[in-house]
Amino acid sequence: TTWLQPEDVAEWIDRYDTFLFDCDGVIWLDNDVVPNVPEALRNLRKLGKKILFVSNNATKHRSEYMTKFKKMGIEAEIEDIITSAVGAARYFVSEYGAGSKVFVCGSQGLAQEFEDVGAQVVRPASVLDTSPPVGGPALHQVDPEIKAVVAGADWNLTHRKLGYAVVCLNTVPGCGLIATNRDPLYPAADGNMYPGAGATVAPLELCSGRTAVTIGKPGPMLLDILVKTQGMDKSRAVMVGDRLDSDIKFGNDGGIHTLVVLTGVTRTRAEADAASGALRARFGLASLGDLAPR
């Protein structure tokens, strides 16, 4: 990994037309903006660069991202944001058709992205019930028309939700399993790592004997959508992220340059330098804020 020095930054920026940014751990930690990031992004826009946000975080609808960007003084358009929730919703409709039923083991924001593309999100009363089941699991009569279960990070994950999803996967013929992403951990503002989408996906795979179709980074689907919708020249694009196993692998496998920052999951230069193959970033920087003009 080549670590950029302050004097290299301007020349490095010149190499690219399109900058792809992960959000959690790069732009912000929970609700705290990483210092100097708004100035860095303003500088890139002033230089005529295209800025895209590519996030595995499927807990928020893009309108929530817009609100968050605005609060932090960051300019963005809704079509500049692509999340694994958007990718999962598009994939579902292309596979099963608009109007098809889906069960969401994830957040309200994820469900909303599915509704935006015409999917019917099933919200069973037996799942929404908050009374504790007594003496065994809550029992579910599942909707036999459910075409797939989609799994994402879920801060309100319950045994009821997992139970409904597992019964769908094991009893509804042809029911698919879609994972927004497989990130095991989520970096929070208190410095701790909490269970991410992988913690929803793993029990569903375990209990159904299936392997989910994974939409988010490091898989190619989100990059394919961006190339199609944004007409991006991959040779003049760079992916900036904090996770070697998702962001950096995503860029390297997709044939674009990569830059790792140390404000999220990857904390030290030594960690980044020890990575090899597709997990090794071409460039490194302590923080995205270091791209702000000095």
Other C-beta atoms lying within 10 Å of the C-beta of residue 125: 8
Q: Is 80 noted as a catalytic residue in this protein?
A: no
Interatomic CA distance for residues 213 and 196, integer angstroms: 17
CB 189 within 8 A of CB 143: no
Determine contact, residues 27/53, Cβ cutoff 8 Å: yes
Residue 54 main-chain phi, psi, to 5 deg: -120, 105
The backbone torsions φ and ψ at residue 163, rounded to the nearest 5 degrees and listed phi first, read: -60, -45
- Spatial neighbors of 247 by CB under 8 A, at least 6 apart, are 22, 26, 217, 218, 239, 240, 241, 258, 260
Query: For residues 92 and 97, what is the distance between their CA atoms, to the nearest angstrom?
Result: 7
Q: Does residue 147 contact residue 173 with C-beta atoms inside 8 Å?
A: no
Residue 52 near residue 86, CB atoms below 8 Å: no
Phi-psi region of 36 (alpha: psi -120 to 50; beta: other; left: phi over 0): left
Interatomic CA distance for residues 152 and 50, integer angstroms: 28
Active-site annotation holder among 17, 143, 253, 290 = 17
- For the record, the structure tokens of 124 come out as 């069973």
Structural contact between residues 228 and 245, judged by C-beta atoms closer than 8 angstroms = no
Beta bridge partners of 3: 284
Are the C-beta atoms of 100 and 120 separated by less than 8 Å? Answer: yes
DSSP-based three-state secondary structure for 280: coil
What are the residue numbers of the active site? 17
